[in-house]
Amino acid sequence: MHTAIQIKNLRFAYGAKQVLHDVSLDIPARQVTAFIGPSGCGKSTLLRCINRINDRIPSAKITDGSILVHDIDINRSDIDLQELRRQIGMVFQKYNPFAKSIYENVAFSLRVAGKNKRAELDEVVENALRGAALWDEVKDRLHTSAFGLSGGQQQRLCIARAIANQPEILLMDEPCAALDPLATLKIEELLMELKKKYTIVIVTHNMAQATRCSDKTAFMYLGNLVEYGDTMQIFEKPREKQTEAYVTGTFG
Ligand code: ADP
Ligand code: MG
Mean pLDDT score, 19-45? 97
Specify the pLDDT at position 108: 95
Ligand lying nearest the CA atom of residue 54: 1
How many angstroms separate the alpha carbon of residue 69 from the centre of ligand 2? 22
- Give the residue among 155, 160, 249 at the shortest CA–CA distance from 206: 249
Mean pLDDT score, 162-185? 96
Pick from 10, 12, 21, 41 the residue to mutate for probing ligand 1's pocket: most ligand atoms within 8 Å of its CB. Answer: 41
How many angstroms separate the alpha carbon of residue 68 from the centre of ligand 2? 22
Distance CA 227, CA 214 (A): 15
What ranges do the domains of the chain cover? Answer: 3-247
Mean pLDDT score, 105-130? 95
- Using the predicted structure, report yes or no on whether residue 219 has a pLDDT greater than 60: yes
Mean pLDDT score, 63-73? 97
Which atom belonging to ligand 1 lies closest to the Cα atom of 43? Answer: 3
Mean pLDDT score, 143-147? 98
- Band of pLDDT at residue 95, cut at 50, 70 and 90: very high
Q: What is the pTM of this model?
A: 0.96
As for ligand 1, residues whose beta carbon falls within 6 Å of it are 14, 17, 19, 37, 39-45, 57
- Band of pLDDT at residue 250, cut at 50, 70 and 90: confident
Distance CA 163, CA 40 (A): 29
Instruction: Write the CATH number of the domain with boundaries 3-247.
Output: 3.40.50.300
- What percent of the chain stands above pLDDT 90? 97
Q: Which residues contact 49 (CB under 8 A, 6 or more apart)?
A: 7, 10, 12, 20, 62, 67
Strand partners, 87: none
Question: Which residue lies with its CA nearest to atom 5 of ligand 1?
Answer: 42
- Using the predicted structure, report yes or no on whether residue 252 has a pLDDT greater than 70: no
Mean pLDDT score, 120-136? 97
Q: Where are the beta strands (DSSP E) in 37-195?
A: 60-69, 72-73, 88-91, 169-173
Ligand lying nearest the CA atom of residue 59: 1
Taken in order 95, 99, 105, 109, is the CA torsion positive or negative? negative
How many angstroms separate the alpha carbon of residue 173 from the centre of ligand 2? 7
Look over the chain and give the mean of its residue pLDDT values, rounded to a whole number: 96
Residues 226-244: tens digit of each pLDDT: 999 999 999 999 999 999 9
- Using the predicted structure, report yes or no on whether residue 9 has a pLDDT greater than 60: yes
Distance CA 242, CA 247 (A): 9
Which atom belonging to ligand 1 lies closest to the Cα atom of 39? Answer: 4
Specify the pLDDT at position 251: 72
Specify the pLDDT at position 68: 98
How many angstroms separate the alpha carbon of residue 207 from the centre of ligand 1? 20
